[in-house]
Amino acid sequence: MSFAGARLMASAATITTLLAGVACRGREGAAATTITVIDSTFTHSWDATEDSGLVYRVEIASRRGVDTVSDVIPPFPIPVDDTLVIGLIQTSEDSSSPERKVFRLRLRDHTVQTQPVPHDVWAFYQDFLFSPDGRYAAYVAEDPIPGQAGTFAMVRDALTGEIVARGPAGGGCDCDVDSNYARWIAPDSFEIAVSHASTGAGWQRVAGRPHRRVHVDTLKSEPVWD
């Protein structure tokens, strides 16, 4: 099993605990929205380095009723407010390899909309993270032309795909292990750590806010981010 697989298995043991407490209070004091794992199953994974991976069936309960979403994958869904839940699923057409998609569950009418993740998400990147308000997605991107820019930090508008922040190019490693990280400090403040193992330069940390200039520095040790 690869490092990515071990990381998945280690986190899977705590998924129910984590999701059982996920809740969001609406802007006008609406009842909380809760997300709970119903069950999980092993299936063919979107990650080409893994023979199989876990997908989850989750129950989303709000003041408008209860909805169920299948084939959910980490990072897990977030309730944006009392009208919307956003997250990731994996799907496949016929016998094709699974691919990741963004789903939006609109609680008012119980409809689910999906769209592919951005085309430039690094193929092995695990932590595709939505901002707490659901407006943006932070991740590590890769130039689609082999041998060009390498990997780099990227933040896009989660709905339109507009680029709202980007770090310098040149990251990467000769490996299939994901040692890149992202986190949201606040709804409008992010940090992304891009591995530069291929050049022995540690991790390039890109921090900032959407639509503003980013700050770039270097981390000598691998970050330990929740």
For residue range 18-76, what is the model confidence (pLDDT) as tens digits?
Answer: 444 444 444 443 348 999 999 999 999 898 888 889 999 999 999 889 999 999 999 99
Beta strand pairing status for 53-62 and 33-43? antiparallel
112 with 130, same domain: the answer is: no
Q: Are residues 89 and 201 in the same domain?
A: no
Mark whether 112 and 124 lie in a shared domain.
no
Indicate whether 104 and 162 sit together in one domain. Answer: no
Averaged pLDDT, 136-150: 80
Looking at residues 72-89, what average pLDDT do you find? 93
Cα-Cα-Cα-Cα torsion 218, 192, 216, 118, nearest 10 degrees, comes to: 130
Residue 37 domain boundaries: 1-117
147 and 189 share one domain: yes
- Decide if pLDDT at 163 tops 90: yes
How far is it between the farthest Cα atoms of the chain? 52
What is the C-alpha separation between 158 and 114, in angstroms, rounded?
A: 12
Give 96 or 102, the one with higher predicted confidence: 102
Q: How many domains does the chain have?
A: 2
Alpha carbon distance 150, 163 (integer Å): 17
Indicate the residue among 56, 82, 117 that finishes a domain.
117
139 lies in the same domain as 84: no
- When pLDDT is averaged across residues 185-200 and rounded to a whole number, the result is 90
